[in-house]
Amino acid sequence: MDRDLLIVSNVCFFLAMVRTALALRARNYRPAGFNFCAIALGFVLQTSFLSLRGRSLGRCPITNLFEVFIFLAWSVSLIYLLIGPAYRLSLMGAFTAPLVFGLQTFALLAPIDRAHSLRQSPTAWLEFHACVSLIACGAFALACVAGLMFLVQERQLKRRRINSMFYHFPPLTDLFAAITRLLWLGFILLTLGLAAGFFTGQPLPYVQVAFSLGVWIFYAAILLARHLGKTAPRRIAALCVVAFSAALSLLWGITFLSQTRSM
Amino acid sequence: MKVFCVGLSHHTANVETRERFVGHAQTERALREEAGCAEALLLATCNRVEVYAAAADAVPTDRITRCLRANEDSLGESENSFYRHEERNCVQHLFRVASGLDSMVIGETEILGQAKKAYAAARESGGAGPLLHRLFQRAFRVAKQVRTRTEITRGAVSVGSVAVDLAEKIFGHFETRKVLLLGAGVASERTARALAKRGVRDIRVSNRSSERAATLAALVGGRAVAIEDWQAHCREVDILISSTAATSPIVTREKLEPLLRDRRDRPLFIIDISVPRDVAPDVHEMEGVFLYDIDSLQSIAQQSIAQRRQQIVAGEEIIAGHVDEVTSWLANACAGAQNPALTLRPSQS
């Protein structure tokens, strides 16, 4: 039942993705409510899935790689729904839907939904640490999406070849402002999540701590470069894409390690 | 009762011919009283002169063209420039015209305003009765749908508007942006005016002739600055519009690099509308600098025109659905007009 919810949710993201692709192909994209509604419905279904899974586990549903990917996809949708309309980044939905669809499809198809006998009992700090860190990843994912949009827009301006998508993109300066805000949001959440990790009252897994600190330092360096004004916005946007790819890989590594340890 | 359209446009006649048939104050009255039209509406713009009419009996084209003559000149060969569309073709033509598909600049929206004015004038003079009322109301609806459901109006098609559109796509809002005009040519004046209209408040004009700089600054609501200081201003501005009479590039990578070192997070948009060019082409390769010369602006305008042409098919599809509906309504309505039991009311829409 719970996986069915997820499959229907994935269909919503798939529809948003296909509709955008067809509209862009027909050079007739307009940011209508369809994408937003499809993503919102997908989000509701994701939430229902996580809620059911959480109840059956009796804890926050991030106990295996499958759940981690779904939670991450949920975080991306949540942050998009919160900031997308606020910053008039309607086209962001066109980029967000494929990302969420990709994460969920991978989670559904790969044999990673395995139940584990967990060594650690859930504590409030541990759950807070894991949830907030994953929501931070959601913010970084959207910073990566905004970074990609920035790179596409900048490339069109540099190549002096303007296609119909160009007119639907937000201005470069607005995209850069959105990247900055998302970076800050993700960084603050990640900092809180990492800090909470030290209050769990359980022994710290040093490799995971090192990985997490590595990601934290990477994003801190990007923010520092951003605010010193010495790094071109294009490089900041590219760094957001690189950093999120690295963070996603590390997240996989951390989850894999924690599963190995808990077995 | 049949609806028909007689007219000439930029497709069929040159401006000399068009200006001989702009009609006159009494054209609509003449069309009804002399030509025998039950309803008549004159749509006269700089690119077309058309009469949309409804009549119980067939009205010959020459009777219509005679009413359109601005003076008593003989028609001569000009009559061959007129086209005539009846019933279904007339409906389709009107919908294409109102939607901008038949315009010289495809997708332009000015024609819709002109059609609305023409309709309002005809309603006031009594020229537009129930048939034309219904026809034009639907035309306005169709035009709106074509505009919103396709990208027929997307993209600027003139050099000045392309420059402003690009600036908007880089900076978003203009209120806090600073513009420097290097040289005081007519083209840069036009672009600066367009930017001022969109909200730019800080415009600086730098020219060899300080008098000309002061005059242009007053025209665009900016301030004149000394030509020797242009490099210092470059550090602060977001948009640089250059149109000097220099014979070799005055803005080079070597000059710009030290100026932009401290503002890497702020893009600089350079519009070079002078020939020969004022800005060295390799400036475009610099990080955060977007250089557009007259050729690249024209090329984007051409891309927009090509993209608009691709949207014609989508527009025609929208129109086709409405044409079928209106044509069948017209057939019923015209039958009703001959049958007193079925009265046409202007409020039907």
Would you call A32 an interface residue with chain B, using a CB distance cutoff of 8 Å? no
Contact between chains at A157 and B262 (C-beta distance less than 8 A): no
Cα angle B192-B193-B195, degrees, rounded to a multiple of 5:
65
Instruction: Provide residues of B within 8 Å CB-CB of chain A.
Output: 149-151, 154-155, 166, 168-172, 262-265, 267, 284, 287-288, 290, 292, 296, 299-300, 303-304, 307, 310-311, 314
Place of tokens 């942006």: B177
Report whether pLDDT(B163) > 50.
Answer: yes
b vs e for A184-195, b when ≥16 Cβ sit within 10 Å of the residue's Cβ?
Answer: bbbbebbbbbbe
Q: What is the mean pLDDT of residues B182-191?
A: 82
Q: Which residue of B has its CA nearest to A180?
A: B265
How many angstroms separate the CA atoms of B132 and B91, rounded? 10
pLDDT tens, position by position, A121-163: 677 888 888 889 888 988 998 899 899 989 999 999 999 887 7
Identity of the residue in B151, B169, B264 whose CB atom sits nearest the CB atom of A229:
B264
Report whether pLDDT(A237) > 90.
Answer: yes
Pairing of strands B39-44, B223-225: unpaired
User: How far is the CA of B84 from the CAs of A189, B17, B325, in angstroms?
Assistant: 70, 17, 21
Contact between chains at B168 and A176 (C-beta distance less than 8 A): no
Helix (H, G, I), strand (E, B) or coil at B83: strand
Identity of the residue in B151, B170, B264 whose CB atom sits nearest the CB atom of A231:
B264
Cα angle B180-B302-B311, degrees, rounded to a multiple of 5:
125
**What ranges in chain B are assigned the alpha helix state H?**
15-18, 27-33, 61-68, 87-99, 110-125, 130-149, 159-171, 186-197, 210-220, 230-234, 253-260, 294-310, 312-338
Which range in A31-40, B186-195, B196-205 is most confidently predicted, on average pLDDT?
Answer: B196-205
Tokens of B220: 């665009």
pLDDT confidence of residue B346: 41
Q: What's CA B57's distance to the chain center, in Å? A: 37
- To the query of whether residue B90 is one of the catalytic residues in this protein, the response is no
Q: pLDDT: is B339 or B149 the higher one?
A: B149
Contact between chains at B169 and A161 (C-beta distance less than 8 A): no
Interface size, chain A vs chain B, as Cβ–Cβ contacts under 8 Å: 72
Q: Kindly name the residue from B37, B46, B67, B334 that is annotated as catalytic.
A: B46
Contact between chains at B267 and A233 (C-beta distance less than 8 A): yes
pLDDT confidence of residue B345: 44
Average pLDDT over chain B reads 86
User: In 3D, which of B93, B91, B92, B106 has the Cα closest to residue B8?
Assistant: B93
pLDDT tens, position by position, A172-202: 998 898 899 999 999 999 999 999 888 877 7
Q: Which residue of B has its CA nearest to A157?
A: B290
pLDDT confidence of residue B343: 43
Phi, psi (degrees; rounded to nearest 5) at B50: -140, 145
Contacts of residue A85, defined as CB under 8 A and 6 or more positions apart, other chains included, come to: A36
Identity of the residue in A27, A162, A229 whose CB atom sits nearest the CB atom of B300:
A162
Residues of B in contact with A229 (CB under 8 A): 262-265
Q: In what order do the strands lie in the sheet with B2-9?
A: B39-44, B48-55, B2-9, B83-86
Q: pLDDT: is B347 or B79 the higher one?
A: B79
Tokens of A153: 């827009």
Identity of the amino acid at B126: G
Q: Which residue of A has its CA nearest to B296?
A: A160
User: Do the beta carbons of residue A190 and residue A133 sit within 8 Å?
Assistant: yes
Contacts of residue A95, defined as CB under 8 A and 6 or more positions apart, other chains included, come to: A145, A148, A149
Q: Which residue of B has its CA nearest to A168?
A: B169
pLDDT tens, position by position, B242-291: 988 888 899 999 999 988 887 778 899 999 988 888 999 999 999 999 99
b vs e for B84-106, b when ≥16 Cβ sit within 10 Å of the residue's Cβ?
Answer: bbebbebbbbbbbbbbbbbbeeb
How many angstroms separate the CA atoms of B122 and B134, rounded? 13
pLDDT confidence of residue A200: 77
User: How far is the CA of B247 from the CAs of B244, B250, B251, B280, in angstroms?
Assistant: 9, 9, 12, 12
Identity of the residue in B150, B170, B265 whose CB atom sits nearest the CB atom of A157:
B170
Q: Which of B151, B161, B285 to mutate to test the interface with A (most CBs of A within 10 A)?
A: B151
